[in-house]
Amino acid sequence: MLMRAHPNVLQALVALAAGLAQAASLAWPGNGAPLWWLQLASLAVLAWLLRPGAGRALAWRRGALIGGLFAMAWLAGTLWWLFISMHVYGGLPAPLAVAAVLGLAAFMASFYATAAGLFCHLAPGGTLSAALLFAALWLLAELVRGNLWTGLPWGAGGYAHVDGPLSPLARWGGVYGVGAVAAGVAMLAAQARRAHLRSRRAWALVLAGGALLAAAALARHCALGACDTTPRPEPVLSLALLQGNIPQDEKFQPGGGVAVALEWYADALRNAKADLVVTPETALPLVPGRLPPGYLDGLRQHYAQGSQAALLGIPLNDAQGYSNSVLGLSPGMALYRYDKHHLVPFGEFIPPFFKWFMALLRIPLGDFGRGAVVQAPFEWAGQRIAPNICYEDLFGEELGARFADPAWAPTVFVNFSNIAWFGNTVAIDQHLHISRMRALEFERPMVRATNTGATAIIDYRGRVTHQLARHTRGVLTGTVQGRGFDAHSGSAITPYAWWVSRWGLWPLWILGAVVLAIAAAAQRGLARRTRRSACMP
């Protein structure tokens, strides 16, 4: 009755509910687990709304609206914790903080609205061709979101699949490739649901989808080591990951969080027994010139002898300005430095035309300098350790650029983060799964040292092997085995690492554009044939 009376309202409500389900699939609010099946189901609902019958699609305006509502609910439901950083720690009035989150979600949702509208305008009659077109448009929308204005790909649909049967595809196509395949499977599922259960087409779609998921599940079974019994010659590295749990509202207070951080991290750095000791992002919250006299020199002397090394998160300043950096201390080696390349808009630099907005916030901010995309790894204990800071691990194409030169190809990634800006929220779980996806893409371990969580060790298969309880102060100890250059078979890197290090994301852009161009050409041909038949007597 409601569908007959108010079909537009009901479609909108279903789209909003499906979008929220997609947000929950990235990290279930109850336990933080990713739910691959929920991501597929929520996207299948969107596909079902856009293509309500075999060979039919919504009018493009209605399709754009439905797609936009789905994406806005998904993105607002994924990034709601930005409210905490802006309101609780930034002092922005709550109504303005809510408006900012919704405005950001609406802006990014416009990419998916465009994709949905194009799908409805170009939707072919064929089942497989419709699935390919939907997958290509979804891929292009994700790429636009991940690259426009420095990009914000947090919450891409593929992250829900780190534990799912599609996860082996990450080594071939990265998170965007996984997301595109998921979109295609969702469209196939939606069309199978629309087909008559006794029809051959319905059974063909069910069998095709089942075969795809079964093959992916077998590939995942092998990826988790069941099919690989070859011993790995890479050395094992013992780790001590420090989690200071300094409250964000005290972190930069000279008589509070600063004093606590300097004392606790200094003690932990001196007492740790591991091969490598790692602190979180800006664990030392002052530039070297403002540290207590002899503080940094004392740490350098401690690590100048023995068999240990340390990586310290610290802001640096020089003639070029400020940088969010990592310093490496080790015996017999010069001081190592890594500078963050991919800066956070509104956090580490102010985008053009937004100084008025930043004036409303009480967030300590300087326009930080950028490091190079590819910087030398920290070489220690037979490993090439590649740092990345905070949300730099969202950008797999930038981490992948480090594999272009086999001499610099990482054997271990280390992420330095501070998610205290977002409280004890699902943001911690979402970021953990982002790091797990990078491990799957490159088949390299990802080590995470964070201020409040998730401090963890992730092996090259994307599995969390060690994790410290969030929002506690402590030291996580464990071991990690790197993956590196194989002198017998050449550079032991994944297909994704190989092509993304040479061409970036251009192959995916081209693939999506080619499918879209073919669909547009087919639509024009159909329109011409329709016009000719209409003119015939």
> Which residues are designated catalytic?
281, 340, 390
Q: Which amino acid is at 487?
A: A
Which one-letter DSSP state was computed for residue 53?
A: B
* CA nearest neighbour of 74 among 130, 139, 18: 18
Q: Are strands 321-329 and 412-417 parallel, antiparallel or unpaired?
A: unpaired
- How far, in Å, CA of 335 to CA of 311, rounded? 10
- How far, in Å, CA of 186 to CA of 71, rounded? 15
CA angle 380, 381, 384 (to 5 degrees): 50
- How far, in Å, CA of 48 to CA of 57, rounded? 9
Instruction: Tell me how far the alpha carbon of residue 159 is from its chain's centroid.
Output: 7
* Cα dihedral value 418, 394, 40, 136, nearest 10: 160
CA distances from 423 to 247, 307, 336 (A): 9, 37, 32
CA distances from 189 to 73, 208, 334, 433 (A): 22, 10, 57, 26
- How far, in Å, CA of 243 to CA of 415, rounded? 13
Instruction: Tell me which H or E stretch contains 309.
Output: strand 309-318
Q: Do the Cβ atoms of 432 and 454 come closer than 8 Å?
A: yes
What is the rounded end-to-end Cα distance, in angstroms, of the chain? 44
* CA nearest neighbour of 241 among 416, 449, 447: 449
* Alpha-carbon dihedral sign for residues 181, 185, 186, 190: positive
The CB density around residue 83, as the number of other CB atoms within 10 Å, is 21
* Alpha-carbon dihedral sign for residues 261, 266, 269, 271: negative
Whether omega for the bond prior to residue 454 falls within 30 degrees of 0, making it cis, is yes
